[in-house]
Amino acid sequence: MPELPEIETIRNILKKDLIGKKIDKIDILFKKQFPDEPALVISAKIVDILRTGKVLSIKLSNGKYLNIHLKLSGQLLFAKNANHAVFPQEIPMAASNKLPARSTRVVIHFKDGSGLFFNEIRKFGWIKVSDKPERAKGVDVLSSDFTKEYFQSKMNSSRQIKIVLMDQDRLAGVGNIYANDALFEARVNPEKKANLLTKTETGHLYEAVKKVIQLGVKYSGSSGGDKMYVLPDGSAGGYQRYSSVYQKEGKPCVRCKTLIKRIKQGGRSSFFCPKCQK
């Protein structure tokens, strides 16, 4: 699932590609993923692109917003020629380097002939028209509101710390990839209960969350594992080359050479070093 660094990367790129463009028409290939009337945004100009947590919000000149959640496998791809959208490499899950493809659900056409393609093989993601940008309940971990005091206040749960880190009502934007690596960075076992962390451990984990999220943004997000996440030009992110433990089961720990272990937590895989993270 695209997490904060992936969505922030997409936002930064699309701001350069889309701001100032006027929407000409919208092809809806799967109604559930664009449930509103396209007429609400036709001829509106894109004036800004925002993000909170894992949700992208495209601000329009008519006061509307296109709120976009990519969920597990969504992709946003931009082509200068929407009627002849050809990318340098095959798009994961599209089985082609040409769009629209079998995974394309929505195409937003602009007046200049360019287009934004929303691909989503599992049909969980969505684009919704709204009068306001989507807001997460939890504090975005790249915002100024994400302070050490706020983080400490959210460690009052008896749930395992890995589960708490991924709770979007507490911390908006942290998913499985960066939760694993932050816990390794802070030397905290993913199964430890959040309310049992010492003040020192909590402080280290706070800094670790910020560090791995910023590193993820620096390297344009992670395209590891299923490789479904791509940038708007179809290329892959690079964070997977710098990940400490995520999807490193059976490989030696970068600190102590102990083999990385994998367990299941809340239906998701957790990766950790049994020696460094206690």
* The CATH fold of domain 139-272: Helicase, Ruva Protein; domain 3 (1.10.8)
pLDDT score at 263: 98
Q: What is the 3-state composition of the chain as percent helix, strand, coil, each rounded to the nearest 5? A: 25, 30, 45
Q: What is the pLDDT at residue 86?
A: 98
Q: What is the pLDDT of residue 142?
A: 97
d(CA 36, CA 229): 26
Global confidence as pTM: 0.96
pLDDT of residue 226: 76
Task: Give phi and psi for 114, each to the nearest 5.
Answer: -80, 170
3-state secondary structure 141-184: CCCCCCCHHHHHHCCCCCCEHHHHHCCCCCEECCCHHHHHHHHH
What integer pLDDT is reported at residue 13 of this predicted model? 99
Confidence at residue 227, expressed as pLDDT on a 0 to 100 scale: 86
**Residue 174: which of 200, 201, 151 has the closest Cα?**
151
| Domain boundary assignment for the chain | 4-130, 139-272
Would you state the pLDDT for residue 224?
A: 84
The pLDDT of residue 165: 98
Structure tokens at 157: 């749960």
| Catalytic positions, written as ranges | 2-3, 54, 268
Cα–Cα distance measured from residue 246 to residue 114, given in angstroms and rounded to the nearest whole number: 37
Q: What's the pLDDT at 136?
A: 86
pLDDT at 3: 97
For the chain (278 residues), the mean pLDDT of every run of 10, in chain order, is 96 99 98 98 99 97 98 97 97 95 98 98 96 94 97 98 98 97 99 98 99 98 90 97 97 98 96 97
> Domain 4-130 maps to which CATH number in 1.20.1600.10, 3.20.190.10, 3.40.50.1000, 3.40.50.300?
3.20.190.10
